[in-house]
Structure formats: C-alpha cells, structure tokens
C-alpha cells in the first residue's frame, strides 16, 4: 500500500482491497465456529437461502449440545447424506455428544484445541468465525495457515492478534472478510477502490440502550436494561459491549488491522437507528456510506460468498419512512471504554490483549451480578494501569498475556465487589 503523506495508511491491510479473491469450489464448503450462537444460527439461515451454492461441512461450539443436534437435523434436511465434522470444546458436553444416539455427524477428537483440529481437517473453503472472545484467535490462525476464506465475526481475534493474523494470512494465502456490520459496510464502500485513496473511516455506533441516560444513573442500571439493545439482535457479550461502547472501541482496533488505516483516521459517530452502517471518506472529500436494515445475515452472506449481493429475504429500507438521519459525537466521559480501547490500540503490543481480557472478565462479572455497569470501564482501566506494556511477538506471548490479564482482572473484580 502506498502512503500519500496523509498518515492514513500505516500498515499492510488484511482486507484484500482490489486484489481478486481466490476461486473457491461450488458449492462453497463452510466450517462454522460458534455454531450454536447468534452468528451460527444466522449462518444456517444464509445457507438455507442458497443450498445449491453453500454447504456446511463442519460445526464447532462450546457446550450447547441440544442446539447443535437440532442444527445437525436441519443440515441433514438441507444436505441429505452429509455428515459434517463436529467439535465440542467442553469435555463434559463432548462426552454427552459421543454417547448420544445421533449419527448425523463425525466427532473430532483431537487432544489439543478441538476447534483448530476441526478447521484443519474439515477440508473447507471458508471459515465462519462466530466465536465469542479470545477463544477465536487460534482457529483464525489455523484457517489463515490453511489459506481459507475467513468470514470474521470474532473481532477479538484482531484485537488480540492482528499482527499474527496478518503474518499468517500473508504466508497462507488466506483472505479475511469482515462480518462485523460496520466493517462489512466499509468493505462495500471500498469495493474496487485503491487503499491510497482512503482518507478516513467513520464507524457508526447505535449508542446502545444508555445513549441518553444521565451519568448519575448509569451505576444503577440493571443487567436486563443493559441487554435491551435498541437495534441489533446479538449475543449477550457483544450486547453488553455495545452498551459500554467497548464494542465500538474494539471495532476501531479491528478496522485498523483490517484496512491498515492509522488510528487518527478512524472516527466514531453515534447514529441512532443503525441504518447507515459506516462510511469512508476519500482523499478528495467524497464520502460513501452503506445503508440497509440492521440484519446480521446481510454482512454474513456478503463475507461468506466473497462479496456478492446475492438475494436475501430480510426486509428492505423504506427511505421515505426513515425520517432525518442523526449523527452525534460519542460521549467518552459517560462511556470511557471507547477512549480506553483507542488508547490501547495506539500503544499496541500487550495493551489491546489486556484490554480485551479485562473486558471479558468484567462483562462476565456484570452478567453474574458481581459488579455494576460502570465498573466495567474501571476494571479495564485498572488492569491496563497495573499490567506493564510489553511486546507480544508470537502466539505464546499473546496467550500468556491474556492469561495473566484475566487473573489480574479477576482480582480487580473481587476487590471492587467487596
């Protein structure tokens, strides 16, 4: 990528920009991780819409065997005779599945990381990574190594290990296509345009359920209120992240790695309603925005199919019914996680790993009722302050930092909840 002197492109982009994507087989063989979660269910919807073009050959999840078996039944109807490979990471759930009567699948044993084993053995063309949190990193690296198309919904992968993924993608000939709706929107705005014409990325944020809540009330909001997202239907972890705006902070780091744009050239605007999914400003000041209904199946399909606008039955925007589009500056006083994430991204090295690990622990503690909503930012800030910055040159260093930061965040949560 060339650099025009604007300082906007500072690193090689993971996103292929104008490079043609690799030819893949038809139907496209998909290995789906996080199968029983929100992204997994919606991926199955997309496959169901295009059974002649998409096929599921592998499913991975943590422990929800009942949902998994239901999915396998649905896949049998779609793809008669197929027996997808299945990986389950929770040992108790895995034994339960092994003991079940179902013979609609083949269970991956694997002594180490079963999800990595699944990615390496499924003979897939495409990984859909819908895992939640740090557990998504290693399967992404394996898929990069195998040269797969990676439809990435697991943003923690890039927050923790953006540099590692970039190296593995370059070596393995893989392609990373974003599923995150903002990044998928940016990819659509960039379609056919060179990296050196990009001046600024503008990520939109719904603002979450507390966009208008006064600061004094935030410590007393309930978990149910936190989980009541105004526009998007998502899993609990990302819904909490949306309420704290940590989600947007993680997305800044994700955008930096995906598109190779400097942090100073990635902005966030609050856009209630979530109809403009994000924007790109080009060198001449022209701006392109991508709009659509807030439905995750759209960015999912666009990433899985190698960036095509296939038909999909998911509602249409009625422009005349929209009303005025509003864009506001985010409030980093009430939502400190946004600024914490941007700062951690700038520091790089261990800082984003610590940010992510501390956030995962804090979110789990909130959902368990151990801390208050406003404690999330405080836990993350304190973890970043207490863990010294250092380089994380390889996977071992990233995982070790992640482990240490989790332990530290647990201690901080414990101190705060007393």
Distance CA 393, CA 397 (A): 6
Size of the site for Mg ion (CB under 5 A): 3
Window contacting Mg ion (CB under 5 A); options: 160-168, 174-182, 308-316, 374-382: 174-182
Contact in structure between 268 and 207 (CB atoms under 8 Å): no
Residue 248 vs 406, nearer CB to Mg ion: 248
Count CB neighbours of 181 within 10 A. Answer: 24
Query: Which residue sits closest to Mg ion, CB atoms considered?
Result: 180
- Taking CA atoms, 341 is separated from 261, 289, 338, in Å, by 16, 24, 5
Give 180 or 360: the residue with its C-beta nearer to Mg ion.
Answer: 180
CB of 190 to Mg ion, least distance (A): 17
Q: How far is the CB of 270 from Mg ion (least distance, A)?
A: 13
Q: Residue 182 CB, nearest distance to Mg ion (Å)?
A: 5
- The helix (run of H) or strand (run of E) holding residue 301 is helix 297-304
Is 292 in contact with 298 (CB distance < 8 Å)? yes
Note whether 200 and 8 are within 8 A (CB).
yes
Q: Which is nearer to Mg ion, 182 or 402 (CB)?
A: 182
Considering only residues 176 through 195, tell me which ones interact with Mg ion, judged by CB under 5 A.
180-182
CA–CA separation, 87 and 369 (whole Å): 31
The nearer residue to Mg ion, 125 or 180, going by C-beta atoms, is 180
Choose among 226, 257, 231, 256: nearest CA to 243. Answer: 226
Cβ distance to Mg ion smaller for residue 12 or 236? 236
Instruction: Please report whether residue 254 would count as binding Mg ion according to CB under 5 A.
Output: no
The piece of 71-79, 175-183, 210-218, 382-390 that touches Mg ion (CB under 5 A) is 175-183
Q: How many CA atoms lie within 13 A of 2 on its CB side?
A: 4
Nearer Cβ to Mg ion, position 180 or 410? 180
| 298 HSE (CA, 13 A, CB side) | 21
- What is the binding site for Mg ion (CB under 5 A)? 180-182
């Amino acid at each position: 990528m060339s650099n025009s002197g604007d300082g906007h492109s500072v690193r090689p982009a993971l996103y292929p920009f104008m490079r043609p994507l690799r030819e893949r087989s038809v139907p496209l063989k998909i290995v789906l991780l996080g199968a029983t979660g929100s992204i997994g269910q919606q991926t199955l919807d997309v496959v169901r819409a295009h059974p002649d073009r998409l096929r599921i050959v592998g499913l991975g999840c943590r422990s929800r065997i009942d949902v998994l078996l239901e999915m396998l039944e649905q896949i049998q109807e779609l793809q008669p005779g197929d027996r997808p490979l299945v990986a389950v990471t929770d040992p108790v759930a895995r034994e339960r599945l092994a003991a079940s009567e179902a013979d609609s699948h083949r269970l991956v044993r694997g002594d180490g990381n079963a999800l990595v084993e699944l990615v390496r053995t499924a003979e897939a063309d495409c990984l859909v990574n819908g895992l939640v949190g740090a557990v998504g990193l290693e399967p992404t690296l394996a898929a990069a190594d195998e040269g797969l198309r990676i439809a990435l919904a697991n943003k923690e992968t890039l927050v923790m290990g953006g540099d590692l993924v970039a190296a593995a993608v370059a070596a393995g000939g893989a392609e990373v296509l974003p599923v995150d709706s903002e990044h998928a929107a940016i990819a659509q705005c960039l379609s056919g345009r060179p990296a050196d014409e990009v001046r600024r990325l503008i990520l939109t944020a719904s603002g979450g359920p507390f966009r208008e809540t006064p600061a004094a009330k935030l410590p007393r909001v309930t978990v149910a209120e936190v989980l009541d997202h105004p526009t998007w239907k998502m899993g609990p972890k990302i819904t909490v992240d949306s309420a704290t705006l940590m989600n947007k902070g993680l997305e800044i780091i994700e955008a930096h790695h995906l598109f190779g744009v400097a942090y100073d050239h990635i902005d966030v605007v609050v856009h209630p309603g979530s109809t403009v999914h994000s924007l790109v400003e080009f060198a001449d000041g022209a701006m392109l925005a991508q709009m659509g209904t807030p439905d995750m199946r759209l960015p999912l399909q666009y990433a899985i199919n190698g960036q095509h606008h296939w038909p999909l039955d998911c509602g249409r925007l009625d422009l005349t019914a929209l009303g005025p589009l509003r864009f506001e500056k985010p409030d980093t006083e009430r939502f400190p996680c946004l600024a914490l994430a941007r700062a951690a991204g700038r520091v790089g090295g261990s800082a984003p790993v610590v940010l992510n690990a501390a956030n995962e622990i804090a979110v789990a503690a909130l959902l368990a009722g151990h801390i208050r909503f406003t404690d999330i930012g405080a836990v993350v800030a304190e973890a970043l302050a207490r863990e010294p910055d250092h380089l994380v040159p390889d996977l071992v260093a990233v995982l070790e930092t992640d482990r240490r930061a989790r332990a530290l965040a647990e201690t901080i949560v414990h101190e705060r909840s007393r």
